[in-house]
Amino acid sequence: MKSIISIKSFLANFQYLLPCAMLSFMTSCGLWDDKPGVPHEIVIKSFDLVVGEEEGTGSNNITEVWVYSETNVMGIFPLPARIPLISENGEAEVGITVLPGIRVNGISSTRKPYPFYEAMELSVLLEPGRTDTVLFESRYTDNAEIILAENFESANRFEATSISTAEVVRTVDPQWVFEGEASGLILLTEEEAHITSTTQEQLYNLPSGGSIFLEFNYRCDNSFAVGLEAIGGNNAQRTPIIVLNPTGEDWKKMYLDLGPLVFSTPGAFGYELTLDAILDMGEETGYIVVDNFKIVHY
């Protein structure tokens, strides 16, 4: 078998195939499921993100892949994925493109390919009954702009307001740290029950169009909100975008879509990240740990 594997961006054309992809996903089948013959299977066990020095953490939450042939949508496959390939018109070689998929804002119904991770392209010489395992190792696309907003390694940019009774602190305690040397920690009690905090004087310059996402890691046993404060312009506002529920002991990765809020605040000359929490009703204590805030856009 000849297998040629390369990485490049595929997103310029995927939107035209999106309706077919969703239909394929909802019917729990791929393009090839009703075609006779023994398939050549491609197995993708997991997804790895390789990052450069200025790109922050390599942590990700890719749990499925979107697979396209040169002309059609083959399906959406949860990882580990087994992708069946069968010659449709007698061709000996098949090319497929594999894109990493996310759940936008953590919602299952808003699955989509992540526009900032490179796609994987495979060219496979078909051999019925054969199984090949490939490593999906991706990077940020060349034109992705990455803002490392806060990873708590050397500082803490979140400052609580004067009316807050709790605060975001930089912790190096191993029981709280996600990776590296430090993470951000909020401890809530009945006496220190609420916090309203904002990054200070960062004034992130975000584009008025295109995809804009905030990536971050978190663990909590108390709900909390993450959002943006628009500075200046006609619609200056402080807006929580998402409220996150307790995760228990598990760390999670969020891909938060900032686009709708940014596009609704034209004229703003900058943005700050916001992090707010109130002790959950009926609880005596609560904690929130966050790390690796990263804004990605084109």
Predicted structure pTM score = 0.87
> Within 13 Å of residue 225, how many CA atoms lie on the same side as its CB?
19
What CATH number does the domain containing 263 carry?
A: 2.60.120.260
Question: Of 204, 177, 130, which Cα lies nearest the Cα of 291?
Answer: 177
Total domains present in the chain? 2
* Distance between CA atoms of residues 264 and 146, nearest Å: 22
pLDDT at 29 (0 to 100): 42
The whole-number mean pLDDT for each consecutive block of 10 residues of the chain, a chain of 298 residues, reads 39 46 43 66 98 97 96 95 90 95 97 98 96 98 98 97 98 98 98 98 95 98 98 87 96 98 93 98 98 98
233 and 127: one domain?
no
Q: What is residue 262's three-state secondary structure?
A: helix
Q: For residue 36, what pLDDT is reported?
A: 57
| Domain end point (choices 138, 164, 185) | 138
Q: Can you read off the two tokens belonging to residue 17?
A: 């195939």
The reply to whether 155 and 108 lie within a common domain is: no
- Out of 138, 154, 179, a domain closes at 138
Residues making up the chain, counted from first to last: 298
pLDDT at 102: 98
